[in-house]
Structure 1
Amino acid sequence: MTKIAFYGSSLLSAYWNGAATYYRGILRALAARGYDITFYEPDVHDRQKNRDIDPPDWARVVVYDGTVPALRAAAANASDADIVVKTSGVGFQDDLLLAEVMAAARPGALRIFWDVDAPATLAELHASPDHPLRAALPELDLVLTYGGGDPVIAAYRALGARDCVPVYNALDPDTHHPVPPEARLTCDMAFLGNRLPDRDARVAAWFFAPAAACPEARFVLGGSGWEGHPMPENVRALGHVPTRDHNALNASARMVLNIARDSMAETGFSPATRVFEAAGAGACIVTDAWEGVELFLKPGKEILVARDGQDVADLVRDTPPKDAARIGRRALMRVLREHTYTDRAELADELFRARLKAARAIA
C-alpha cells in the first residue's frame, strides 16, 4: 500500500481554513483507491478548538504543537512515506516545514508541493527572488495546485518547477448534498467567506453594495472576521459557519454568491471550493466573472455570472425562485457528472503512479 505523508493546515477544522473541504474530498477519494494517508497539522489559530469533524477512518491525523521542536519531530516522519506532500498556507513556520519535510523524504519518494492558493503564492514568489520555496522548486518532483489553469502552470515552470498540474476543487456528494431549507437561514442571497485583505473590496462591490440597492431583499453573510464591519441593515452576519451547516445555508438561500479574491479573479481558472459545495446542494450560484468559468458550469444555464455589483442587484430582483431552483438543479447534475473528488482522485492517482515509477528509477 502506497503511503502518503501529507503536511497541511488542518483536516479536522475549517476554522480560518478554507482548504479543509478540499483536503477532505481529495484525500478521502485517494484513500478509497488504496492509499495509506497520514495528515500532519499544527495546533495553531484555535483550529483544534473549532473542529468540524472527528478524525476520520480513512486517514490518520497527527496534531503537533505549534513549536519548532514539534514541527521537526513531525517532519521526520516523512521518511516512512512513499509520497511526501507539503501544502501552501500550513500556518506555522511554512518555510522551515518545507525544508525539514523534504530533507526527511527517503530516496525514491515522490516529493510534492501542493498549492491551495497558487495566485497568492506566485505573487509572493515573484516579489521575493530569495524565497525558500523558489529555491526549492527545482528539487521537487511535482507541483500540484487546486486551480489556475495554463497561467499558473506556465508561471511555476518559469520559476523552475519540473512540472505543475492542477487538481481542481470538486464535490464530495457524501458531504455536500441537497437538504431541506431551514427557516433560520432563509434569505434571497447568501455569501460565505472569511474576511481577507484581498477580498474586502470585492465583497463591498459584489455583496454589500447590492444589498444596499435591494433593501427589500434579505442577505446573509457567513464567515469569520466580519465582526464590526459596517454593512446594510438587511444583511445578517452569522460569523463562522461550521461545515455541517453549509448544506443548510446553501439550500435555504434563493441564490448563493461566489466572490473570488483579487488574485484568483486576476489569474482565473480557479473555482472556489464553495462553488462546488453550493452546486452540490442544488443552489443557484451567482459568481463574479473570472476566466474559465464556462469550463466548469455553463453561464446562464448552470450558473449566473455578474460583471459587477449592479448585475448582482439586478439578478436578485429579476430571478424568481422557480428559475433559481432550475439553475440549481442543472448545476447539481453537472457537478455530479463531471466534477466530483472521485474524478480528481483518478487524475492524482495516475500522476502518482507515473511519477513514483520515475522517482524510484532515478533513486
Structure 2
Amino acid sequence: MTQRPHDIVILGLTLSSSWGNGHATTFRALLRGLKAEGHRVLFLERDVPWYANNRDFANPDFCELAYYEDIGAMLAEYGERLAQADAVIVGSYVPEGVALIDALNRLNLKRLCFYDIDTPVTLAKLRRGEEDYLAARQIKQFDAYFSFTGGPTLGHLRRHYGVPQSFPLFCSVDDNRYQPTGEPKQWDLGYLGTYSDDRQPTLERLLIEPARRLPHLRFVVAGPQYPDTIEWPENVERLEHVGPAEHPSFYSRQRFTLNVTRADMIEAGWSPSVRLFEAAACGTPIISDTWEGLSELLPDGRAIAIARTSDDVVAALTSVSNEALSAMAKASRSIVLQHHTGLARARELVADLEKIAPRPVGIQPDRQKISA
C-alpha cells in the first residue's frame, strides 16, 4: 500500500440490495478495493422497504454498513464519526438528499464530496428544475464532485456550477468475483438491466428485432419492471432478476452480451456502464450502442462490437468467427483487469482525495445560491 490509511464515510443509495439499481455493485467493488488498500469505510444507507425486502448483501466484510431511518437520528448517532472522517461522500439518488447535504454542510467536516453515479441524469434533472436528491445551489459547496461521467462534463461542472474540483470516478468491477465460469453457451445474445423508457427503443432495435429475424438463435433479457405490454419473441427468455452472485454464470453462458445506454448518458458520452466491465471481466464479447469515449475505453472491433442498427447485430451474430470472438473477449478482459477493477478505482479515489485540502476547523462553505 502506497497511500496512508483514510477514514471515509459514504452516504449512498444502497450497498445492501442490488434490486433495480446499479449503485450497489458499483459501491461493493469500490469498497472492496478501499479495504484492500487498508482504508476504513462506514457506509450509511437509508432504511427503505424496497431495498430492505430485497437485500442480497446485508453483512459486508470489507466495510461497516449501518442503516438509518431519518437524518436527525443518523446525525445524532454518527455525528462524531462524520466530523472525524478524512472525507464524507454523498452519493446520487439518496433519499432526501437535499436536506441531507444541507445538514452535513452545517457540520465541521474535513472534506465533503459528492459521488454522482448518474451524472448526465442528474444534470438533466437540474435543467428541468428537479432537485429531489441534489440542488443546483449545493454543487459549489462540495470540496469535490466525483462523477460517473468523464470528458467535457467535468469542465461543465466547474464552469457552470462552481464546484472547486471535479474528478472522473467510473464504475468498476470486482475481478475476484467476476470471472469466466467455463459453462456451456445457453444464449447467443443476452441483456441485463432494469426496464427504462429511454433504453427500451434501443433494446427493441438491438435485441428484440434481431431475435425476430433469427428465430433459430436464443436470446435472454434479465431485469425487473418490464411492462406486460411488451411482445417478446418466442426465442427471447425473460428472467425477472439475476443477483450479483449469479452474474458471472449469466454472462459466461452468453455468446455475446448487449450493453444499452440511457439517453442522457449517450448525450454526455464518457459514461461506461458497470455491465460493460462485468461482462468483459467474465470474458463475454460485448455488443454495444455507441457514445463518445466508448472506443477510447474499449476499442471498436478489437475489444467491443459497436452496433447502430439491427443489421449490425444480425451481422455480428451470424458472421463473427469463434476465433474473432475469443480475441475480442481476451482484449476487453485485459483492458478491464488493468484499468477498471475496484482496486484501481479505489486508488484513483484516494489519490484525488489527497489533492483536496481539508477545510479549516470551524469554517463552513459559502451557501449563496447559484443559478442552474
Q: How does 1:1-363 map to 2 (within 5 A)?
A: 1-65=5-69, 67=70, 69-70=72-73, 73=76, 76=79, 78-90=82-94, 92-104=95-107, 106-107=108-109, 109-128=110-129, 133-181=135-183, 186-226=186-226, 228=228, 229-355=230-356, 357-360=357-360
> Structure 1, residues 243-264: CA drift from partner, whole Å, max 9, x if none?
0111011111000000101111
CA distance in 2, matches of 1:317, 1:260: 24
CA distance in 2, matches of 1:130, 1:203: 29
Letter in 2 for 1:323: A
Q: Which has the larger displacement, 136-145 or 174-183?
A: 174-183
TM-score (norm 1): 0.91
Q: How far 1:227 sits from its partner (Å)?
A: 5.1
> Structure 1, residues 301-354: CA drift from partner, whole Å, max 9, x if none?
111111222211221222244432331122112211232222222221111122
Call closer, same or farther: CA 1:277–1:151 in 2, change over 3 Å.
same
Equivalent residues of 2:173, 2:281 under 8 A apart: yes
SS, match of residue 354 in structure 2: helix
SS, match of residue 47 in structure 1: helix
CA distance in 2, matches of 1:277, 1:149: 22
Residue ranges of structure 1 left out of the alignment (5+ in a row):
none
> Structure 1, residues 196-215: CA drift from partner, whole Å, max 9, x if none?
22222222222222222222
SS, match of residue 50 in structure 1: coil
Letter in 2 for 1:93: E
Equivalent residues of 2:150, 2:167 under 8 A apart: no
Equivalent residues of 2:111, 2:358 under 8 A apart: no
Equivalent residues of 2:121, 2:264 under 8 A apart: yes
SS, match of residue 255 in structure 2: strand
Equivalent residues of 2:179, 2:283 under 8 A apart: yes
Question: Highest relative contact order (Cα 8 Å, sep 6+), 1 or 2?
Answer: 2
Equivalent residues of 2:149, 2:268 under 8 A apart: no
Q: How far 1:78 sits from its partner (Å)?
A: 2.6
Call closer, same or farther: CA 1:75–1:199 in 2, change over 3 Å.
farther
Equivalent residues of 2:15, 2:27 under 8 A apart: yes
> Structure 1, residues 86-131: CA drift from partner, whole Å, max 9, x if none?
11012x2222222223323x24x11001100000001111222988
TM-score (norm 2): 0.89
If each structure's helix is expressed as a fraction of its own residues, which one has the higher value?
1
Q: Which has the larger displacement, 264-273 or 164-173?
A: 164-173
Q: How far 1:71 sits from its partner (Å)?
A: 5.4
CA distance in 2, matches of 1:87, 1:74: 20
CA distance in 2, matches of 1:206, 1:312: 6
CA distance in 2, matches of 1:74, 1:99: 17
Letter in 1 for 2:96: Q
CA distance in 1, matches of 2:77, 2:19: 22
Equivalent residues of 2:256, 2:287 under 8 A apart: yes
Letter in 2 for 1:209: E
CA distance in 2, matches of 1:153, 1:265: 17
CA distance in 2, matches of 1:74, 1:122: 32
CA distance in 2, matches of 1:361, 1:98: 19
CA distance in 2, matches of 1:311, 1:320: 15
Letter in 2 for 1:218: R
Letter in 1 for 2:175: P
CA distance in 1, matches of 2:128, 2:260: 25
